[in-house]
Amino acid sequence: QVQLQESGPGLVKPSETLSLTCTVSGGSISNYYWSWIRQPPGKGLEWIGHIYDSGSTNYNASLKSRVTISVDTSKDQFSLTLRSVTAADTAVYYCASALFPRRITVFDFDSWGQGILVTVSS
Amino acid sequence: DIQMTQSPSSLSASVGDRVTITCRASQTISTYLNWYQQKPGKAPKLLIYGVSDLQSGVPSRFSGGGSGTDFTLTIRSLQPEDFATYFCQHTYNTPPTFGQGTRVEI
């Protein structure tokens, strides 16, 4: 069974860059879309963007100017970079994907990492 | 972006109760509607996709319905493990957006 695991710093200073990595184990990163989703404490879920194994990306317009998602297929990892962070970027960040065969769209997220809390504070 | 509005925001229920949560989209999304369950400190879990298809392993007491802009999630006989927060999500276009959540509590 495929597992996803987020890693990265839990504390980032305002105006700096947030960088997270998701490692995919138990399966290949190839032929799927890989998403980042975040959830501010006590609030709802926001899709940040996704990447295909070819490197093709699609971002939420609300964050597009500050976000980059990249993939390293040799390591079965994909990464999130969010620039110029503020306190509003404090959230649990999840990596997720739609892996099951009967999915209807690439947004049917059946596989999630455990999440990593990133706090933006000086 | 398509806005997803859930009601109620929270509800109190007892074991054995029938519970219905509604989700309304700001425009038609056909049948591109999913439901997730989230427990404290855990990632969301996909329950239902395509309005009414149960994800593998999800108990049959969960069911979904609706089309167009109005959708429902029903839990037929609430069990202790069902106390959680439930989110709807559209997958009609990009970005996929989620409802604000409905907390089901005792």
pLDDT of A44-68, one tens digit each? 999 999 999 889 999 999 999 999 9
Residue B55 CA, distance from chain mean position = 13
Residue A16 has which token pair? 């700096």
Whether the predicted pLDDT of A108 surpasses 90: yes
Helices vs strands, H then E, count in chain B: 0, 10
| Predicted local distance difference test score (pLDDT) of residue B106 | 82
Whether the predicted pLDDT of B92 surpasses 90: yes
Touching check for A11 and chain B: CB below 8 Å?
A: no
| Predicted local distance difference test score (pLDDT) of residue A115 | 98
Average pLDDT over residues B21-30: 98
Whether the predicted pLDDT of A102 surpasses 90: no
Residue A56 CA, distance from chain mean position = 15
Touching check for A52 and chain B: CB below 8 Å?
A: no
Percent of chain B with pLDDT over 70: 100
B43 and A114 in contact by Cβ < 8 A?
yes
CB environment B78-87: b (16+ within 10 A), e (fewer): beeebebbbb
| Predicted local distance difference test score (pLDDT) of residue A101 | 83
Touching check for B97 and chain A: CB below 8 Å?
A: yes
Touching check for B99 and chain A: CB below 8 Å?
A: yes
- Among candidates B42, B44, B96 on the partner chain, residue whose Cβ is nearest the Cβ of A107: B96
